[in-house]
């Protein structure tokens, strides 16, 4: 599989010999690399986030780095690496989680992602955070991977998406909707995570998946997704997003649809990639290096 060419000049054309994983970038004293708090509004609620700002005047392309449920793994290590590579990186917390206002629901992770994209395209983001809102890349982990892929189908100009241990919420909803025992087992499994979100019960979240199983099944949007430039990284021993459900059917459907710009990796590790952090950083950085806007 090959990659789409989105322009004549690569983001990394001036950084070909630089390794953002192991090297520090030479800092611009006037426009230094930094990280700052950044907030936006979603349906009247304040959403809390962090903006990692790359060195240099910019404007910089920006990575919207979407965490999963409930957000214990925020992938800040990757954010710092991407920032050294020349990208601004924005991480935020969905409504009802980690201090953001409102209540937590799966559908609101989608809505909040849409509002985050609007925020990154705003004049405020351009002026205050040195962002090029026309160059947005989505990198989503776990349920954030679902939010990234699903959100991209509504944005024709957002073509570069990483699906990291991603979750196909609709397909999972179909499976648990047809198996009451598995539904309850899943509710018990995610129960410890409910302490970190403002939501009445795990059953409410799982019922959302069941009720939206057709719309949220990424395979049902394969025509649009097959036109994107996708990096799909999964974990062989993943018990949270097993590859038999969340990776293989999606990749298979993309191949059947004739997708030409898909890169896939299955690493021998678990859902959090705890022993493969450098490996996933290298894979994603190499992929980012090839992107041309």
Cβ contacts of residue 113 below 8 Å, gap of 6+? 64, 66, 147, 148, 151
pLDDT at 6 over 70: no
Would you place residue 25 in the very low, low, confident or very high pLDDT band (cuts 50, 70, 90)? confident
Fold of 34-169+216-290: Rossmann fold (3.40.50)
CB of 21 within 8 A of CB of 284? no
Q: What is the DSSP string of 40-60?
A: EEETTEEEEEEEEE-SSS-PE
pLDDT at 1 over 70: no
First-last CA distance in the chain? 19
User: What percent helix, strand, coil does the chain show, rounded to 5?
Assistant: 40, 20, 40
pLDDT at 225 over 90: yes
More confident site: 261 or 18: 261
Nearest to 33 by CA among 94, 101, 78, 80: 80
| 10 class by beta-carbon count within 10 Å (0-12 exposed, 13-18 middle, 19+ buried) | middle
Q: Tell me the two tokens of residue 69.
A: 């449920």
pLDDT at 11 over 60: no
Identify the pLDDT of residue 16.
61
Express each pLDDT in 28-50 by its tens digit.
999 999 999 999 999 999 999 99
Nearest to 129 by CA among 76, 58, 46, 24: 58
For residues 223 and 27, what is the distance between their CA atoms, to the nearest angstrom?
43
Q: How many CA atoms lie within 13 A of 8 on its CB side?
A: 0
Cβ contacts of residue 22 below 8 Å, gap of 6+? none
Percentage of residues in the chain having pLDDT higher than 70: 95
Average pLDDT in the 231-248 region?
98
Nearest to 262 by CA among 231, 236, 222: 231
Identify the pLDDT of residue 2.
34
Identify the pLDDT of residue 164.
98
**How much is the mean pLDDT over the chain?**
94
Identify the pLDDT of residue 220.
98
- Choice among 45-49, 152-156, 289-293 with the minimum mean pLDDT: 289-293
Cβ contacts of residue 17 below 8 Å, gap of 6+? none
Please give the C-alpha separations between residue 63 and each of 121, 148, 170, 217, in angstroms, as whole numbers: 12, 11, 25, 24
For the entire predicted model, the pTM comes to: 0.93
pLDDT at 54 over 90: yes
Average pLDDT in the 108-123 region?
98
């Amino acid at each position: 599989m090959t990659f789409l060419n989105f322009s004549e000049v690569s983001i990394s054309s001036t950084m070909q010999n630089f390794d953002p994983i192991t090297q520090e970038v030479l800092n611009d004293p006037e426009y230094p690399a930094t990280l700052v708090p950044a907030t936006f509004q979603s349906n009247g609620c304040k959403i809390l986030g962090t903006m990692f700002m790359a060195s240099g005047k910019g404007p910089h392309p920006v990575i919207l780095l979407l965490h999963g449920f409930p957000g214990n793994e925020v992938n800040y290590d990757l954010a710092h690496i991407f920032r050294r590579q020349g990208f601004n990186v924005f991480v935020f917390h969905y409504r009802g989680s980690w201090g953001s206002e409102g209540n937590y629901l799966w559908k609101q992770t989608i809505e909040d992602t849409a509002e985050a994209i609007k925020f990154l395209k705003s004049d405020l983001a351009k002026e205050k955070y040195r962002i090029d809102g026309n160059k947005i890349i989505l990198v989503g982990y776990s349920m954030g991977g679902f939010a990234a892929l699903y959100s991209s189908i509504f944005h024709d100009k957002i073509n570069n998406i990483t699906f990291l241990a991603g979750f196909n919420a609709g397909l999972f909803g179909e499976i648990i909707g047809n198996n009451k025992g598995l539904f309850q087992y899943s509710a018990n499994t995610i129960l410890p995570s409910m302490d970190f979100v403002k939501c009445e019960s795990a059953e409410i979240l799982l019922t959302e998946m069941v009720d939206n199983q057709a719309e949220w099944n990424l395979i049902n949007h394969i025509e649009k997704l097959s036109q994107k430039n996708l990096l799909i990284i999964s974990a062989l021993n993943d018990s949270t997003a097993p590859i038999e459900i969340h990776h293989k059917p999606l990749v298979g459907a993309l191949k059947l649809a004739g997708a030409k710009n898909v890169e896939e990796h299955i690493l021998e590790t678990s859902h959090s990639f705890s022993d493969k952090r450098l490996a996933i950083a290298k894979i994603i950085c190499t992929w980012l290096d090839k992107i041309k806007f």
